[in-house]
Amino acid sequence: MKRSLPLFIVVGMAAIVFITSVRVTMFRYRNYEYGKFDLGNMSQMVYNTLNGRFMEVTDYFGANMPRWGMSHVDPFLLVFVPFYAVFPDARILVVAQLFLLISSSFLLYLIGTRILNSKFASMFVALSFLFYPAVGYLLAWTGFHGVTSVVPFFLGAFLLLEDMYIKRLFTRNKVLLFFFLILLTMAGKEEISLIILAYAGFIFFFRGQRKIALLMGTISLLWFFITFFVLIPNASHYRIEGYQRFVQSIGVDIDAKKDVLKPNYFLSRYEEFGESYLEILKNMALDPGKVIKIFFSGDRKENFNMTFMPLLYLPVFYLPILLISSPEFLINYLTTQSGVGTAEIYNHRISMIIPILFISVLFSIKLFEDAYRVFLRKEPKKLSLFISILLLATNIYTSNLYQNPILLWFTQSLGRRFAFASGEVDEIKNYKEGERVKVNRLETKDWNCFDGVVSLVPSSATVTAPDYLGAHFSTRRVNALFPANFDTSDYVVVDVNSKKVLSILGVNLDLINKVVGHILRNPDYKLIYSCSNIFVFKKETSGPGERILPLQEDFDYVEKVNYSIGQSLYLSDFNLPQIIEKGKEFEVNFVYKKEGDASLNAYVIYTSFKSEDGKYIHQIANLPSFGVNPPLNWEEGVYYLEDNKFVLPDSSPSGNYNVFVGMTNNIKTYNIFLGKVFVR
C-alpha cells in the first residue's frame, strides 16, 4: 500500500481535476463560451464524416470544404466518429479532451519512475503537471483541438521507448505499438511531424536505435510533405473560390494580397521572412540575429517566462529533450504579422510543447542527481524529492499569479456569472408617458435568448449565425459564420455586434450595416424570432419585390411628442400595438430626432417589454438603427423613422407589460416609459 500511495495520490488528484474541469467546461458550453471557432468546426467535421462527407467543414466565408482547405490537417478527429453515431454532440469532444489531457499526468508519473529513483518525486512532478497554468487554460478554455488531445499518445510512445531502452529489449510488438502511438500523435496537427522528426534525432543520437530513428524520420518527413505540399495547397482553391463568392455577395473588392488567397492561409504570419515555405526557412537560417530578435519581441519574452517560470527553468538544463519542442516554439514565436498572438500560455498551440517540457524537467532533475554524485561523492537521497516539491509549490503559486481557470474555480464561490439576470422584482408602478426610468441595459449575453434561437433551427437546415452559437449548431452539413451565406441559408441569425469575418478581412466594419439592410429588404426571408441583439430570419418567400428599408430619413415631420431619451436623442413619435400575440410578429414604430452636438457613438437603441409585476423582462435591440444606419451617422435636425418588427417568445408570461425605449453604450443607459401593452 505504501509503495502504491504515490500512484493513488496522482490518480486521486487527476480525478478531482477532471470533475472540476467537466463542471467548468459544461458551464462554459451552457453559457455559449465555445463557438464555431474552434469547437464547432471540430464537431462539424466529425458529424459530416459520419454522414459520408469526409472531414468536411464550413469555412469563414461559407464554403464547405475538406479540413485542409483551411490549412489544417488533423485526422485524429476520426477517432470520435463512432461516438457521434451514438450521441452527436460537441460535448463529446470536450469531455474526451479533458480525459486525454488529464490522463497525461499518470503517464508522466510512470516516465518519472523510469528516470528518477523516487516514486514520490515522480508523483510531485505529475501533480505539477495538473497545476501547470497552461494546462489549466487548455482544460478550461480551448474546447477541443487535436493537437491537445494527442499529448498522452506522445507520452505513451516516449514511455514505451524508454522502457525498451532501459531493459535493452526491443520486441516486435512493442515497436509496432510505439509506431502506432507516433502515428496517432502526428494525426493531431500538421506540424507535429516536425516534432516527431526532432524526436527521431534524439533517438538516433541518445538512444542508439538508428533503425527506429531513421524509419521515424522517414515517416515524419513523408507526412510533412503530404500535409504541407500536397493536401493544403491542393485544397486551397475551395477557400479561394468561397472567399470570392463571399466578397461578391457583400460587395467588397477582392484584394489579391489577402491571406485567404495564398496556398497556405497562415503563411502571411511570417511575412517578414518571406512568402513561401522555402524562402521563410532560408531567411530564418541566414539571419539568426533577426530570429532571436523576433523570438523575444513584444510580449513574447513575458510569454516565455510564463511558460518556463512554473518549471523553475529546469528544461533548459537538458537540451537534448528540450530541442524536440523547438519546431513548435519557432512556429509560435516567430510570427511577424501584427495582431496575431500564438505564444500565450492560454493558446492551444502550446499543447505539444508542454509534455516535452515536463520530460526535460525529469531529465534535468536526474542530471542534478548525477552531478551531486560526481562532485560530492554522495548519494542524493532527497535531492529529487526536494526539487519536485519545490516544482509543485511553484506551479501552485504561478497558477494563482497567472489565473489558472481550473484553480480559480476552487477559490471563487461559483465563478463568474455568465447567465442573463433579469434584475430585481419591482412593485407595480404607475409610470407617466415619456418619463425617464431605470431599466436594465441591453443584455448581450442572454443564454435564455440563445437557447430559444438554437431550438428554432432544425438540424437538417443550413444556418449562418454568430460565432458563439457555432458549437451548438455544429451537427449539420452547413454551419456558416454570419454574414457568410446570409443570402442562401435556410436560417439567418443576425447579431450585428458579431463582426469576426469582417475583422479578419480588415475591411470597414460598417459593411455589416449593408448586409443587414439586404436581409431586411429581402422578401424571401421572414423574421420569426427576436431577443436581445439577436434576430432570426427564416427563408420563406413572402411575395415578389423588395421590402422598403425600415429606417428612413425625413426633413419634415409633424412631431406628436418631444421626449428626451438621453444625450442628444429625442423621441418625436411612436406607435405601440395594444395587444401582442406571443410567437407572432408585431410592429413598433419610432421617430427620432437628434438635437445638440453630443455624440451618439457606440449607443444602441433598444426596446424593453417588462411584465407589470417586474418578474419578467424581454429586451430587443432595434435592428434598423442597430444595423442599417447607426445613431453615430445621424445628423442634427433630421427625423429618423424606424419600423421595428419584433417577436415575443412563446415562453413569455401573459398579462400587462410596461414598454420602454432606451439607449445604452454599456457605460451609460437611458430609458423612457412609452405605455402598456397586453401580451396573450
* Parts of the chain belonging to CATH 2.60.40.770: 551-679
Confidence of residue 544 (pLDDT cuts 50, 70, 90): low
CA distance 659 to 672: 9
Q: Which residues are within 8 A (CB) of 600 and not within 5 positions of it... i.e. 6 or more apart?
A: 567, 568, 569, 594, 630, 631, 632, 634, 663
> Residue 119 has what pLDDT?
95
Mean pLDDT across the chain, nearest whole number?
90
CA distance 183 to 179: 6
Residue (of 88, 126, 96, 129) closest to 7 by Cα position: 126
Please give the backbone phi and psi of residue 377, each rounded to the nearest 5 degrees, phi first: 55, 40
Confidence of residue 539 (pLDDT cuts 50, 70, 90): very high
Instruction: Indicate if the pLDDT at residue 415 is higher than 50.
Output: no
pLDDT, tens only, 65-101: 999 999 999 999 999 999 999 999 999 999 999 999 9
**Is 167 buried (19+), middle (13-18) or exposed (0-12) by CB count in 10 A?**
exposed
Instruction: Indicate if the pLDDT at residue 669 is higher than 50.
Output: yes
Confidence of residue 341 (pLDDT cuts 50, 70, 90): confident
Q: What is residue 678's three-state secondary structure? A: strand
pTM for the predicted model, two decimal places: 0.87
CA distance 302 to 308: 10
Most confident range (mean pLDDT) of 513-517, 602-606, 640-644 is: 640-644
| Mean pLDDT to the nearest integer, 129-146 | 95
Count the neighbouring beta carbons within 10 Å of the beta carbon of residue 226.
Answer: 15
> Residue 398 has what pLDDT?
96
Contact 139, 27 (CB under 8 A): no
Confidence of residue 440 (pLDDT cuts 50, 70, 90): confident
CA distance 21 to 27: 10
Confidence of residue 509 (pLDDT cuts 50, 70, 90): low
Instruction: Indicate if the pLDDT at residue 202 is higher than 60.
Output: yes
Q: What's the N-to-C CA distance of the chain in angstroms?
A: 68
| Mean pLDDT to the nearest integer, 528-532 | 84
> Residue 363 has what pLDDT?
98
pLDDT, tens only, 245-259: 888 888 776 665 567
**What are the helix (H) ranges across 257-352?**
277-286, 288-295, 300-308, 319-322, 326-333
> Residue 40 has what pLDDT?
96
Contact 634, 598 (CB under 8 A): no
pLDDT, tens only, 602-630: 888 999 999 988 888 899 989 888 777 88
Pick the CATH number of 551-679 from 2.120.10.30, 3.10.580.10, 3.20.20.70, 2.60.40.770: 2.60.40.770
Instruction: Indicate if the pLDDT at residue 452 is higher than 50.
Output: yes
> Residue 295 has what pLDDT?
93
> Residue 428 has what pLDDT?
60
Instruction: Indicate if the pLDDT at residue 587 is higher than 60.
Output: yes
| Mean pLDDT to the nearest integer, 351-369 | 97
Percent of the chain at pLDDT > 90 equals 67
Percent of the chain at pLDDT > 70 equals 93
> Residue 464 has what pLDDT?
95
Instruction: Indicate if the pLDDT at residue 179 is higher than 80.
Output: yes
CA distance 437 to 501: 37
> Residue 423 has what pLDDT?
43
> Residue 418 has what pLDDT?
41
